[in-house]
Structure 1
Amino acid sequence: MSIIELGEVRDEPASTPAARRPRSGGRPLRSAAVLVLALVVLSAAAPQPQRAVSVVPASRTSTAYLGGDSVFVVDPPAPEGDRFLTAYAQPSPTGGGVRRRWQAPLARLGDYLDVRVERGLVLAMTVDAPGRVFRTIAFDIGSGERRWQLPGAPQPTADDGLLLTDVRDNGSGALNRVEPHTGRVLWSVPIPSAANPSYHLREGRVDGFVLLLATGEVQVYDAATGRMLRSVDTLPGDREAYQRVQVVDDLLLVVPPGSTRLVGYALTELKPLWTAEVPLISYVVGCAGLLCAVPQTGGLQVLDPATGVVRWSDSGPDNLADVRHGQLLMAKPGRGYEVWDAATGQVRTGLGGWALMQVAGPGGPLVGTRSGDDGRRVVAELDLVARRTRIVDVLPGIAGSCQASLPMLLCQRLDGTTALWRLTR
């Protein structure tokens, strides 16, 4: 133990002259030094926060998914032998490894595209060749017992239901409403050939869908009942022309034949509101109360949804990567990302070069990685509102192929193992 001399205090005699010595300026500094030293010693003695890392039992060719409070591992196709879907509990904040909850057998062949948690079920979506037929298998989230297996890709609805969209390789099929826990089909709407449905979302869940028929008729359906609410003829003069339709917020957007215009309809009345000259539109997304139309040739055109008037446009090579809270994340080829103001197109800041991770679940934070020192990977949250990147951690031995649901991070490592991190920064 080291001792710091603070000096000696004595009583002075009564006959001490009235004149006082000047106060020593060093004594408060010495006291401050004692405090700093004490804090340093206590800090060194206290346990430092560390990231928790757990190895997930998965082969090099398995696929792992984050979902709810679990990690799901799908074995690769197996022409011979057994194949499983295995559920592991994520470790607690206090530490510990992953714990196997259950294991369910799978068909030996077929590619699994997604595993997610919905309505107290684990939904695994697979696609079978030939024909590219999508199929959803539902497992009990607690026991892994298989509840049902039906054709189609799952879409949760705003009233706690489930839609399965079954579109075959010829473009026809059906849209089925099922009871989530039993798989019982409640109603079915046929999908004519080449009439791929578009969905109206409320808080990320479907409450209506739209079918565009080859005749030009657009039909709007209620997702709770399957009842057709209204329809409109968009091709009164030409029944053979190809066109496209998309739902954005409360607008029905139609790209007429020739792809040189964009026509906006009010979804509730199906009345045409405006026509905008925006050629070769690839797709449209809502962006901070406006419409961001992405041309096939690149760039961006931002429209007023009430009038169709172009507010601003950019003809450069930059690509729209994400929209958050009135800000656009723009990918600049070879130069990383920038944050643009959605209302004006003004460049707010540059965020540098990142590889965006797959985010588990809607609305999760944007997470990116890039190469750091000594082969490590820097992990950062891209905050568009604060217009900055926040370094979350620096991880060794990451091969890529990561999923994020902060504070959890699931990645495959260079040695072929799969690991789950609970990040602490």
Structure 2
Amino acid sequence: MSVSVIDLGDVSSLPDEPEGYPGGRPGFGRVRVGRLAKAAIAAVVTLVAGGSALPGPPVLREVWSVPTSADESMTLDADSVYLHRPGENGTELTAYDLRTGRVRWTRPIDTGPSWFGATPQHGVLLLPGDEQTIEVKSPDGGMMGYSYSGSLTALDPATGEQLWQRPGSQHWADTGETLLMYERDRTGTLTWLRQVRMRDGSIVWERRAPAKADTVEVLFDDGTPNRIVTAGPRGRLTVLRYTDGTEVTSRSLPWQKVSYNTGVGSSLGAVKGRLVVVDTGLEGNIDRSRVTVYRADSLTPLWSRETNGWANVQDCGPLVCLSTAQGLFEAVDPETGARRWAMAGSPFIGTVADGERLLIPGTDDEPEQTLVDAATGRVIGPIAAGGLMSMDDEEGTATLLRQLDPTTSVLSRIDTDTGRSTVLGVLPAGDQVFCSGSGRRIVCTLGDRLVVMTAG
């Protein structure tokens, strides 16, 4: 195999910082990046030998940075980076202009620990808070404690002004104009369900949760939520309309409460507008699971499959992906469960190109991504090295990060049309490296700094 040397470019010569550079001179700066780039040439050559297509020189350039720490959380949207900073005198949320690093606003908040974070969503910034901790008894007598948010606050992302605040937790499903919230009591039992308007928090509808329900799931129809399903510890499932909370049907299904010691028990999920119940630990064998798919409106079964190991079921474009053994999965018809194609890979699959393609993670110690056609399983382009950091559907790209040695990681981008990957640049490796992206900008926490870079 012939090996080409990749020109890393002169990454020690970066553009001038914008006026009012935040945080002073960055620790991850010109000299440090230049030395890391030169030290990583051999490692990048190794990556080329692995078969990745790496056209052109790297295009990663630092724009601005600010200090950060391990107990802070970061999120971003198309315009801003938001840092949630707990401190001795309380917690602050700061919004930085994504392009320049200018502080747009800072406000004190009382929403709980930083792991709650902040979520930009359809023109508002949502902050979970009022942390609640409960203990739940499992069937084998063990006790399990877990935490959840007891309130939700919405801010204007442009100004930081509070728009509304309500008790309860947010479900991740929404319509863009409304979102679903729910409340629990001290035992973890659901007490109230309500749908509120995203911008002003006004109530569209609210109702008491079905009796003794402790689990809630949302089903979708062509990307729009249309049914809410709740489940109780004895398998009583209730289906509600998403638009107004009206009950559609209710039925008891075979159900086993989850043991927090072994993981054996029943869990609820949703794929392609259908309800999924996963039973782990069939007949006491933790290495056997059953997946049963039900119609949403009648709770009548469509198909059922037994699998080896822990079952995982998820949307895979037009099909449903079902893990069948360690490192193996099948893409099946959502209505019948009939197999369409199969391959090896991790069950945590990313959908790109509006569901037409999939990114299949590898199962080896070295992370990699395989781009495939969702309908047929046909592999598109070469295997790309790295773990998935972020996806950008508008750009048609996904950003990957791979640690090359104890001191160096490489950041690359894969084209989700062709499967070709391009090295963007090198970063210092470490446990605190985390990257996300918005358009042509890459945002990484690198040890004690948050660094914003351009890519292209």
Hey, what does 1:291 align to over in structure 2?
320
Length-normalised TM-score, structure 1: 0.72
Hey, what does 1:138 align to over in structure 2?
154
Hey, what does 1:243 align to over in structure 2?
266
Post-superposition offset of 1:85:
0.6
SS at match of 1:263: strand
Hey, what does 1:53 align to over in structure 2?
63
Q: Report if the CA contact (8 A) 2:291-2:304 is conserved.
A: yes
Hey, what does 1:70 align to over in structure 2?
80
Hey, what does 1:334 align to over in structure 2?
365
Instruction: Encode CA deviations 1:84-107: one digit per residue, 9 max, x unaligned.
Output: 11112222xxxxx32222211123
Hey, what does 2:92 align to over in structure 1?
84
Match of 2:181 among 164, 182, 192: 164
Q: Report if the CA contact (8 A) 2:170-2:179 is conserved.
A: no
- Rounded to whole Å, the distance in 1 between the matches of 2:391 and 2:208 is 32
Post-superposition offset of 1:359:
5.2
Question: What is the identity, as a one-letter code, of the residue corresponding to 1:141?
Answer: P
SS at match of 1:197: strand
Q: Report if the CA contact (8 A) 2:278-2:311 is conserved.
A: no
Hey, what does 1:265 align to over in structure 2?
294
Identify the range of structure 1 (183-192 vs 221-230) with the bigger mean alpha-carbon deviation.
183-192
Hey, what does 2:452 align to over in structure 1?
420
Instruction: Encode CA deviations 1:318-377: one digit per residue, 9 max, x unaligned.
Output: 544323324341313124325255455565554243132155899974211234699554
Q: Which has the higher contact order (CA 8 A, sep 6+)?
A: 2
- Rounded to whole Å, the distance in 2 between the matches of 1:226 and 1:194 is 15
**What is the identity percentage for the equivalent residue pairs of Structure 1 and Structure 2?**
22
After the TM superposition, which residues 20-419 of structure 1 pair with which residues of structure 2 at under 5 Å, given as runs? 51=61, 53-56=63-66, 58=68, 61-76=71-86, 78=87, 80-91=88-99, 97-107=100-110, 110-126=113-129, 128=131, 130-131=133-134, 132-134=147-149, 135-149=151-165, 150-158=167-175, 160-167=177-184, 170-173=187-190, 174-185=192-203, 186-190=205-209, 192-193=211-212, 195-202=214-221, 206-235=225-254, 243-255=266-278, 258=282, 260-278=289-307, 282-295=311-324, 297-313=326-342, 318-324=346-352, 325-339=356-370, 340-343=372-375, 345=377, 350-358=382-390, 365-371=397-403, 377-391=409-423, 393-397=424-428, 400-414=433-447, 416-419=448-451
Q: Report if the CA contact (8 A) 1:177-1:188 is conserved.
A: no
Q: Report if the CA contact (8 A) 1:170-1:194 is conserved.
A: no
- Rounded to whole Å, the distance in 2 between the matches of 1:318 and 1:184 is 41
Post-superposition offset of 1:130:
3.6
Post-superposition offset of 1:70:
0.8
- Rounded to whole Å, the distance in 1 between the matches of 2:231 and 2:332 is 23
Structure 1 pair 407/373, CA: closer, same or farther in 2 (3 Å)?
farther
Q: Report if the CA contact (8 A) 1:153-1:166 is conserved.
A: no
SS at match of 1:282: coil
Post-superposition offset of 1:310:
3.1
Identify the range of structure 1 (366-375 vs 206-215) with the bigger mean alpha-carbon deviation.
366-375
- Rounded to whole Å, the distance in 1 between the matches of 2:420 and 2:317 is 19
Structure 1 pair 418/335, CA: closer, same or farther in 2 (3 Å)?
closer
Post-superposition offset of 1:388:
2.3
Structure 1 pair 204/88, CA: closer, same or farther in 2 (3 Å)?
farther
- Rounded to whole Å, the distance in 2 between the matches of 1:67 and 1:320 is 24
Structure 1 pair 181/326, CA: closer, same or farther in 2 (3 Å)?
closer
- Rounded to whole Å, the distance in 1 between the matches of 2:266 and 2:405 is 51
SS at match of 1:183: coil
Hey, what does 1:32 align to over in structure 2?
none
Post-superposition offset of 1:402:
1.4
Instruction: Encode CA deviations 1:177-209: one digit per residue, 9 max, x unaligned.
Output: 123333344413416546411212356553322
SS at match of 2:349: strand
Q: Report how many aligned residue pairs link the two structures.
A: 366
Question: What is the identity, as a one-letter code, of the residue corresponding to 1:322?
Answer: G
- Rounded to whole Å, the distance in 1 between the matches of 2:395 and 2:228 is 22
Length-normalised TM-score, structure 2: 0.68
Hey, what does 2:20 align to over in structure 1?
none
Instruction: Encode CA deviations 1:120-157: one digit per residue, 9 max, x unaligned.
Output: 32112347264313132211223212233332134352
Identify the range of structure 1 (376-385 vs 246-255) with the bigger mean alpha-carbon deviation.
376-385
Post-superposition offset of 1:403:
1.4
Structure 1 pair 305/67, CA: closer, same or farther in 2 (3 Å)?
same
- Rounded to whole Å, the distance in 2 between the matches of 1:273 and 1:169 is 36
SS at match of 2:311: strand
Structure 1 pair 362/384, CA: closer, same or farther in 2 (3 Å)?
closer
Specify every segment of 5 or more residues in structure 1 that has no aligned partner in the other structure, as ranges: 1-47, 92-96
Q: Report if the CA contact (8 A) 2:327-2:363 is conserved.
A: no
SS at match of 1:73: strand
- Rounded to whole Å, the distance in 1 between the matches of 2:406 and 2:217 is 47
Post-superposition offset of 1:72:
0.7
Post-superposition offset of 1:108:
8.3
Hey, what does 1:10 align to over in structure 2?
none
Post-superposition offset of 1:386:
1.2
Question: What is the identity, as a one-letter code, of the residue corresponding to 1:164?
Answer: M
Post-superposition offset of 1:277:
3.8
- Rounded to whole Å, the distance in 2 between the matches of 1:342 and 1:187 is 38
Specify every segment of 5 or more residues in structure 2 that has no aligned partner in the other structure, as ranges: 1-56, 135-146, 259-264, 283-287
